[in-house]
C-alpha cells in the first residue's frame, strides 16, 4: 500500500478501500483502480469474475458446514484442506469458525477457542462486511458450548449472552438466535437458576414463532424446490434450497439435506453453471454414509460424470460413470441407461469406437427391455453413426430398428 501512495491518495485511504470501507469516495476508488492497472471499461468483466468466484466460495463454505455437522470432523477437515479456502484472507472469519466446529468435535477445545476468538477479532476489524452475517453470534455460541463441556459455567453464560447481544435481527443465519436462547435456558438450568431458565424458554418460543426457524423444521423444502424447478423459477428455487439446506443441517436431517443439495445441483446444471453444480453434487455424494436413498447415488455419479465430460476431464468422467454402474442397485433403469449413454458419448469423444459401441449396445438393451422408446431411438441413432465399425448386417439391423421405433413414437408409443 505504501508503494501506491501519492499526493492524490494516502496509504490510509488505500487501506480503507482494501477493507471495503463504504466511506471512501467513488473518485478515490476509481483512482486506485487505475493505479492498479485496471481501466474502468474492464470493470464489468472484473465484477462478473468476482461474482462467479463469490458464488463458488459461498457454496464451498455452505458445503463444508454441512459435511462438518452431518458427516463429521474428519471428513470436514479433509474437504477444508482440499478446498484451498484457508489461503483466502477475505473468508478467513468463516474458515476459522468452521475450524472451531471441527476442533470442538475432536475435543481439541483450546485450539477451538483460539480460532473462534481470532474469527471474532477479524469480524470486528471489518464489521461492515460481516455484521449482517451473524457469524459473530455463532462464534460466541460455539465458545459457550466449549466452556460448557469444560464445566466452566460462568464463562459459558457470559459468551452465550454475548452471542445473543450481538445478534442482528435483520441479518442472515436467523436460526442462530433461537439456538442461543435454547442453549441459554439449558445453561441457566445447570446453575439451578430455574426461574431464569423458564423465562429464557419463553423467549425461545417467542423467537421461534417470529422467525423462519419455527415450522421450517418440518416444512417440505424439497417439494417446494422441485416444483419451482419444474416451473423454471430458478432464483426462487435456489433461495428455497439454500434455506432448506441450513434447516436440514441444524436439525440433523440427513436425507433432506441430501435431496436439497442434489436439487441445487440440478438447478445449476440446468443453467450450465457446471463448476457450481459440481460442488452441490459432490456435497450430496459425501453425505452417502448417513443417507438412506442408496438408489439415488447412481444419479449423482451420472451427473458428476456429465459435468466432467463438459470440463473435458475424461479420466474423472469415466471413473464416476463406471462407479455409477458398479454401485447401482438396479431400481432405476432409466438412470443406468443414461450412464451407458454418457459412457458412449465419452468414448466417442476419445475416438475409442469399440468401447463406445459396447456402451451404447448396453444402453440399447436397457431401453428395449424396459420399453423406453425415446431412449431406444437415441441409442440406435448413435450406433448407426458408428457404421464404419459395424458389419453390414448389424448396421442394417440397427437402421431397420430405428425406422420401426420412430414409427412407434409417432403413433404415441412413448407412453
User: What is the C-alpha radius of gyration for the chain, rounded to an integer number of angstroms?
Assistant: 27
Q: What is the per-residue pLDDT for 413?
A: 56
Beta strands in 282-391 (DSSP E): none
Q: Are the beta carbons of 310 and 271 closer than 8 angstroms?
A: no
- List of residues 6+ apart from 397 with CB closer than 8 A: none
Instruction: Cell numbers for 62, please give them.
Output: 455452505
Domain 88-213 shares a fold with domain 293-415: yes
Q: What is the per-residue pLDDT for 107?
A: 94
Instruction: Give dist(CA 289, CA 279) in Å, integer.
Output: 18
Domain ranges for the chain, please list them: 1-38, 88-213, 293-415
SS3 156: helix
Instruction: Cell numbers for 281, please give them.
Output: 453434487
Residues 88-213, CATH architecture: Alpha Horseshoe (1.25)
Q: Residue for cell digits 417440505?
A: 220
CA 249-251-254 angle, 5° bins:
60
Instruction: Give dist(CA 52, CA 44) in Å, integer.
Output: 12
- List of residues 6+ apart from 411 with CB closer than 8 A: none
Q: What is the per-residue pLDDT for 415?
A: 46
The CATH class that applies to domain 293-415 reads: mainly alpha
Q: What is the per-residue pLDDT for 197?
A: 77
Instruction: Cell numbers for 161, please give them.
Output: 449472552
CA distance readout (Å), 329 to 74, 120, 285, 324, 336: 28, 48, 16, 10, 10
Tens digit of pLDDT at every position of the chain (415 positions): 777 888 888 888 888 888 777 788 888 888 888 888 777 777 677 666 666 788 899 999 999 999 999 999 999 999 999 999 998 988 999 999 999 999 999 999 999 999 999 999 999 998 888 989 999 999 999 999 999 999 999 999 999 999 999 999 899 888 888 888 888 888 888 888 888 877 777 776 666 554 454 445 556 777 788 888 888 889 999 998 998 899 889 888 899 899 999 999 999 999 999 999 999 999 999 998 888 777 789 999 999 999 999 999 999 999 999 999 988 877 789 999 999 999 999 999 999 999 999 999 999 999 999 988 899 999 999 999 888 788 888 889 889 989 988 888 887 755 4
Q: What is the per-residue pLDDT for 410?
A: 82
Closest by alpha carbon to 32, among 10, 54, 51? 10
Helices 373-384 and 392-410, packing angle to 10 deg:
150
Amino acid at each position: 500500500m505504501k508503494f501506491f501512495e501519492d499526493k492524490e491518495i494516502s496509504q490510509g485511504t488505500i487501506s480503507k478501500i482494501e477493507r471495503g470501507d463504504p466511506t471512501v469516495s467513488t473518485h478515490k476508488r476509481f483512482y486506485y483502480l487505475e493505479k492498479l492497472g485496471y481501466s474502468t471499461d474492464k470493470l464489468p468483466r472484473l465484477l462478473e469474475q468476482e461474482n462467479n468466484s463469490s458464488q463458488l466460495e459461498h457454496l464451498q463454505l455452505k458445503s463444508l458446514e454441512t459435511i462438518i455437522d452431518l458427516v463429521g470432523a474428519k471428513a470436514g477437515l479433509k474437504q477444508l484442506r482440499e478446498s484451498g479456502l484457508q489461503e483466502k484472507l477475505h473468508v478467513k472469519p468463516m474458515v476459522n469458525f468452521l475450524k472451531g466446529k471441527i476442533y470442538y468435535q475432536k475435543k481439541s477445545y483450546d485450539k477451538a477457542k483460539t480460532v473462534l476468538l481470532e474469527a471474532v477479532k477479524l469480524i470486528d476489524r471489518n464489521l461492515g462486511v460481516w455484521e449482517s452475517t451473524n457469524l459473530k453470534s455463532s462464534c460466541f455460541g460455539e465458545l459457550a458450548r466449549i466452556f460448557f463441556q469444560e464445566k466452566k459455567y460462568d464463562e459459558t453464560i457470559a459468551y452465550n449472552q454475548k452471542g445473543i447481544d450481538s445478534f442482528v435481527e435483520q441479518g442472515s443465519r436467523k436460526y442462530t438466535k433461537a439456538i442461543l436462547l435454547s442453549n441459554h435456558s439449558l445453561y441457566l438450568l445447570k446453575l439451578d437458576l430455574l426461574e431464569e431458565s423458564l423465562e429464557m424458554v419463553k423467549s425461545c418460543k417467542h423467537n421461534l414463532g417470529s422467525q423462519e426457524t419455527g415450522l421450517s423444521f418440518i416444512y417440505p423444502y424439497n417439494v417446494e424446490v422441485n416444483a419451482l424447478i419444474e416451473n423454471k423459477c430458478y432464483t426462487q428455487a435456489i433461495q428455497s434450497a439454500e434455506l432448506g439446506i441450513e434447516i436440514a443441517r441444524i436439525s440433523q436431517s440427513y436425507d433432506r439435506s441430501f435431496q436439497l443439495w442434489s436439487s441445487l445441483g440440478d438447478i445449476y446444471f440446468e443453467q450450465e453453471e457446471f463448476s457450481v453444480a459440481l460442488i452441490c453434487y459432490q456435497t450430496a455424494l459425501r453425505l452417502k454414509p448417513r443417507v438412506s436413498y442408496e438408489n439415488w447415488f447412481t444419479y449423482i455419479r451420472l451427473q458428476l460424470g456429465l459435468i466432467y465430460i463438459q470440463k473435458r476431464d475424461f479420466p474423472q468422467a469415466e471413473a464416476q460413470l463406471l462407479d455409477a454402474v458398479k454401485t447401482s442397485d438396479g431400481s432405476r433403469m432409466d438412470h443406468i441407461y443414461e450412464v451407458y449413454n454418457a459412457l458412449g458419448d465419452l468414448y466417442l469423444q476419445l475416438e475409442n469406437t469399440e468401447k463406445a459401441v459396447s456402451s451404447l449396445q448396453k444402453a440399447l438393451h436397457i431401453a428395449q427391455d424396459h420399453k423406453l422408446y425415446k431412449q431406444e431411438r437415441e441409442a440406435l441413432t448413435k450406433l448407426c453413426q458408428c457404421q464404419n465399425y459395424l458389419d453390414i448386417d448389424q448396421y442394417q439391423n440397427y437402421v431397420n430398428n430405428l425406422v420401426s421405433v420412430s414409427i412407434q413414437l409417432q403413433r404415441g408409443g412413448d407412453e
